[in-house]
Structure 1
Amino acid sequence: MSRIHDRALAVPPTASTPPAAGRSLGIDVAARIEEIDLAAMDRARLARVREQLVRFGYGSALLSDPLNIRYAIGVRNMQIWTMHAPGRYVFIPVEGPVVLFEFAASMHLAEAATVVDDVRPSVSPFYFLAGPRRAEKSEDWARDVIDLGLRYGGKEQRMAVDRCEPWNAAHLIAAGFSLFDAQEPLELARMIKTPEELKCLQLSVDVADLAVNRMRATLTAGMTENELWAVLHETNIAHDGEWIECRLLCSGPRTNPWFQESGNRVIEAGDMVAFDTDMVGPMGYLADISRAFVCPGKRPTGEQRRLYDIALDQVMTNVALIEPGMSFEEFGAKCWPVPDQFVPNRYMMMIHGAGLVDEAPIVAYAADFEESGYSGTFEEGMVVCVESFIGEVGGKEGVKLEEQVLVTAGGAKTLSSAPLVDALSID
């Protein structure tokens, strides 16, 4: 018997009338943000970064990854563009001033920053900005960084860097600095969420839940995958969200195997429609949940119910297992066993962390542990996503489900209210 009772397979709500100009789509984001002590969050995050630098014996960090900059000092600027066009960076000593190097035309964006001591114009040797003057600009870039490192980086000059072009790194090495990977201490700093971060994460998930419900209400035969996917984007941006990491929505035969991106395929009645939000919402925090619906117009088939039940069982079983103090190896030994016929197409991992985006830790399947797993322990304050994809090789369709949870003293607390058990739609 299906675990998804017929009473749960109710007719989805009718798509609501678009809101009039100025009306909220459902959440008063401004009021929710007012409840978050952003200055306290900035101080706590910077303190966690410095704590990890001390732990690893580093005197300073030089961060260029826009997500690391956002976490460490709370200042955002053209996040997506600077992921591929580096030009802003921040120097953070264990003791001493935090110095942000910002695009000269946008230095004013840091005026409200509570943990930045100095803002200076940045120099970028990136070809788009420097052209053939790369070598000259690299020397200019290094001058201020070297001066700050020598003054505040500690006697041993051990500096953690995340992204640093080889020609820039050569200047630092020539000046006597030993360079180390900043991503490890930054990921560890970001792993345990502060109370204010948890408010941001819950707000983002609440926005995603609203989007999921609107997508379910909007889904009709004859619309394209992209048209449905746009509902998520609209809801996110209307609620002060920032971007979508991927575009993972597909329908019918495109649901198996997973990782096919949304396109212009027309969704048909009775199609399975699956998606992964990967939504960077308000305050830059991630809402990462996955849901699957059957497009109204035909009842779910027995095979669709079977696949859905199996995916649901994996997610709910693994969520219930999580508790603080449990090692990743122990979790791997106790987790829901993937049936053999679904192993080739299964999701690449069981669990991953969530914060500003997908973050550490990764919890690998026991079968994959030797190749890609690593040791760790679930801790209170972690936010993680529990994954499932169920689809057979050559199967007509597949089901993708994912739940985002907070690790508490009493186990895993689900952050999303978008239905899993009541998710399949019929007319």
Structure 2
Amino acid sequence: MRPFAPQDFVVRRRRAAAQARAAGLAGILVAPGPDLAYFTGYVPTAILERLTMLVLPADADPVVVVPLLERGDLEASLGSGLEVVAWKDGDDEYATVARMLQPDGRYAVSDGLWALHVLGLQRALPGAGFAAFTDVLPMLRAVKDAEELSRLSAAGMAADAAFIDVLSTRFSGRRERDVADDLAQLLRSHGHQHVDFTLVCAGENGANPHHDAGDRVIEVGDMVVLDFGGLMHGYGSDTSRTVHVGEDVTAEEREVHDVVRAAQQAGFEAVRPGATCQDVDRAARAVITDAGYGERFIHRTGHGIGTTTHEPPYIVEGEERPIEAGMCFSVEPGIYLPGRFGVRIEDIVVAFPPGHPQRALRLNDSPRELLVVA
């Protein structure tokens, strides 16, 4: 996988500045983490209390503000093309940033910017306004380019391979956390550099969508929800499948799984440029509601994915933003029967432009039927 070139980051910063202007913002302030990596390629060794920030004005050249002791690492990572301003311990770092901002401007800030730094900027610029990316620029990273999509596709295929491999391991008689450890190792063996989560939810724990794998021993007769993902080449994977331990699947278990599978297919088929995010949620939810399980689908249908495993767009009722070609997000309906079992099926999906032979493509293609494990 080729590394992103400096020009890739230039294009992203220019696009972000244009979006800021269109939103009536004076610029954006980018904190360390996924946003800073996306716009510069720089990942600090550690995210500590000292202020590091990309200042990206809507109508001026960008500047990276960094502690003096980290300037060398930053410049080695960035190469040329971005102005760097360093501050040293004892300086007022907020005054340093404030000199680059409009006293009465309104700025979008990374969702993950520490409250310490937001409050410091408010003291330095009491006339300025600050709002979270998700509130004012939610689509800042939502549309992926070809290189990003190739990374997401590779991550999805690696997650699929991990699922296929875990099917051959033993489930019954082992703890949830043991299978979760297997999944984590398999994700790494198939190329993931970082594992974000490996949820293994057996029996009644499957009715809790975010149950963390624990000491519950998996038994023959259990439905088991598997939800796992991480980062590969800086981009995320996230997939869910539900399996049954042993051949004795009840009619109800099979029915619920069939309903979720049909709902997931309906959600996928609703993905197209011009449709809204809530259209996808409605399509999946209608299948589950019509089958009589509407109150047991207790979360949104999906979320965006990119340099983080959860990011805009969110596939939920009330989100009327249209889907654009290059948007990448999950479609993951579920049914959860408290005290008994749950079922969830999740794929990452990318929307294609109008006129493309396919309206959308799944980036996960492991089996969706109810599989039996030992």
TM-score using structure 1 length = 0.75
Alpha-carbon offset, residue 290 of structure 1: 0.7
In the alignment, what sits opposite 1:145?
97
Judging by fraction of residues, say which structure has more strand.
2
**Cα pair 1:353 1:384 within 8 Å, conserved:** yes
Structure 1, residues 186-234: CA drift from partner, whole Å, max 9, x if none? 5312111111111111121122112212222224322221121123322
**Cα pair 2:272 2:360 within 8 Å, conserved:** yes
- Matched AA of 2:9: D
In the alignment, what sits opposite 1:42?
9
**Cα pair 1:98 1:116 within 8 Å, conserved:** no
2:52 matched to 1:88? yes
Q: Could you tell me how far apart the structure 2 residues matched to 1:418 and 1:48 are?
A: 35
Q: Could you tell me how far apart the structure 2 residues matched to 1:65 and 1:185 are?
A: 19
**Cα pair 2:183 2:198 within 8 Å, conserved:** no
In the alignment, what sits opposite 1:385?
330
| Aligned mate of 1:258, from 206, 209, 221 | 209
Q: Could you tell me how far apart the structure 2 residues matched to 1:171 and 1:158 are?
A: 15
Alpha-carbon offset, residue 173 of structure 1: 2.1
| Aligned mate of 1:360, from 312, 315, 326 | 312
2:343 matched to 1:399? yes
In the alignment, what sits opposite 1:98?
63
Higher relative contact order (CA 8 A, sep 6+): 1
Give the root-mean-square deviation of aligned CA atoms: 2.9
In the alignment, what sits opposite 2:122?
170
Name the CA shift for 1:403/1:85 in 2 (closer, same or farther; >3 Å): farther
In the alignment, what sits opposite 1:241?
192
In the alignment, what sits opposite 1:60?
27
Q: Which runs of 5+ in 2 are unaligned?
A: none
**Cα pair 1:173 1:179 within 8 Å, conserved:** no
Alpha-carbon offset, residue 419 of structure 1: 1.5
2:172 matched to 1:225? no
| Aligned mate of 1:117, from 69, 78, 82 | 82
Q: Which runs of 5+ in 1 are unaligned?
A: 1-32, 125-136, 366-372
Q: Could you tell me how far apart the structure 2 residues matched to 1:186 and 1:111 are?
A: 30
Percent identity between the aligned chains? 22
SS at match of 1:90: strand
**Cα pair 2:335 2:344 within 8 Å, conserved:** yes
Q: Which moved more, 1:332-341 or 1:412-421?
A: 332-341
Q: Could you tell me how far apart the structure 2 residues matched to 1:220 and 1:392 are?
A: 22
Q: Could you tell me how far apart the structure 2 residues matched to 1:389 and 1:86 are?
A: 42
2:232 matched to 1:282? yes
Q: Could you tell me how far apart the structure 2 residues matched to 1:364 and 1:77 are?
A: 34
Q: Give aligned pairs, total.
A: 362
Q: Could you tell me how far apart the structure 1 residues matched to 2:7 and 2:200 are?
A: 37
**Cα pair 1:52 1:185 within 8 Å, conserved:** no
In the alignment, what sits opposite 1:413?
361
2:47 matched to 1:71? no
**Cα pair 2:63 2:85 within 8 Å, conserved:** no
**Cα pair 2:281 2:300 within 8 Å, conserved:** no
Name the CA shift for 1:61/1:111 in 2 (closer, same or farther; >3 Å): same
Structure 1, residues 26-69: CA drift from partner, whole Å, max 9, x if none? xxxxxxx13x6444532332232222112123233222251221
| Aligned mate of 1:160, from 99, 104, 108 | 108
Q: Could you tell me how far apart the structure 1 residues matched to 2:143 and 2:154 are?
A: 18
Alpha-carbon offset, residue 405 of structure 1: 0.6
In the alignment, what sits opposite 2:142?
191
Name the CA shift for 1:102/1:280 in 2 (closer, same or farther; >3 Å): farther
**Cα pair 2:32 2:44 within 8 Å, conserved:** no
In the alignment, what sits opposite 1:317?
266
Alpha-carbon offset, residue 106 of structure 1: 7.7
SS at match of 1:275: strand
